[in-house]
Structure 1
Amino acid sequence: MHVLDRIERKVLLSVSRKQVWEALVDAEQFGDWFGIALKDKTFVAGETIEAPITYPGYEHVIWKARIERILPQTLFSFRWHPYAVDKDVDYDQETPTLVEFTIEDRAPGILLRVVESGFNSLPMGRRQKAFKMNSRGWDEQMGNIESYLNRARQA
């Protein structure tokens, strides 16, 4: 079965560019909406960060990502191993996918786009499942950040 190499999702947010940016690059805020325990952590380009996932059913998983680029209020990207949920598998032997968040002004708000690419580099035995699960996951995560920012706006 043919699997696409890239997932793209976008959401139009009714908050400021600064608020969207902080929800992406402030590690603790990112963890709050993404479901990762990132309290007292910092995203630094070129560094790898690890933290436990807090999403129900995945508490046994350690989220691990190498922060690639942080271009102020424009781009935040990292590499990770998609759907790396089996604690008995060494995913470090695989080529990670690239996740890129971009933000741009789009009336009447801010357009947030996420693109995850590189699925074709995954082992055949995992490629389809990782693509399917992350495709669903990005749908949920875009809803999560929208809800998170809407709650913050109303507070």
Structure 2
Amino acid sequence: MMRASRSRVWRAVSNAEEFATWFRIQLDGTFAEGTTVRGTVSHSDGTHICAVEMNIETIEPERYFSYRWHPYPIDPTIDYSAEPMTLVEFILRDAEGGTEVTIIESGFDSIPLARRAEAFRMNDKGWGAQMGNLSRHVE
């Protein structure tokens, strides 16, 4: 649970500039249904981790935001663009003292078997860290 209003959390999730701040990503555009936004994820020291492409699917103000992307690139020298994308969903609900945020990433069963387990493990670990970043950003 985030100790912030739903509108505050919504801005952090659905505004590309705010999303980039807490997610620690550089993005090249704004979030709008049907658009593709590209970016670069880096460590806090500025070391490049990977390039990201986000296909924005659904925006339902202050309730639901979703996009598709290629999960954790195990080898940054490989082009994963031909692989299926996973779906990332942010669901916001009012809660006592703030906002309940649920993040679901699905579709790993379509990722090639050779990298599925590692992609799932890294993204699962990453979402835990990102929830902390989001919480600090909005509170």
Q: State TM-score, norm by structure 1.
A: 0.84
Q: RMSD over aligned Cα, in angstroms?
A: 1.5
C-alpha offsets along residues 104-144 of structure 1, whole Å, 9 cap, x if unaligned? 01112110110000101000000000010011001000000
Match of 2:130 in 1: 141
Gaps of 5+ in 1: 1-11, 151-155
May I ask how many residue pairs the two structures share in their alignment? 138
Match of 1:95 in 2: 84
Aligned with residue 81 of structure 1, among 65, 70, 73: 70
Aligned with residue 28 of structure 1, among 12, 17, 35: 17
Moved more, 86-95 or 72-81: 86-95
Match of 2:3 in 1: 14
Aligned residues: percent identity? Answer: 42
Q: Which has the higher contact order (CA 8 A, sep 6+)?
A: 1
Moved more, 20-29 or 58-67: 58-67
Moved more, 51-60 or 135-144: 51-60
Match of 1:107 in 2: 96
How far off its partner does 1:92 sit? 1.1
Question: Which one-letter code corresponds to 2:129 in the other structure?
Answer: E
Output the CA distance in 1 between the equivalents of 2:11 and 2:82. 32
Gaps of 5+ in 2: none
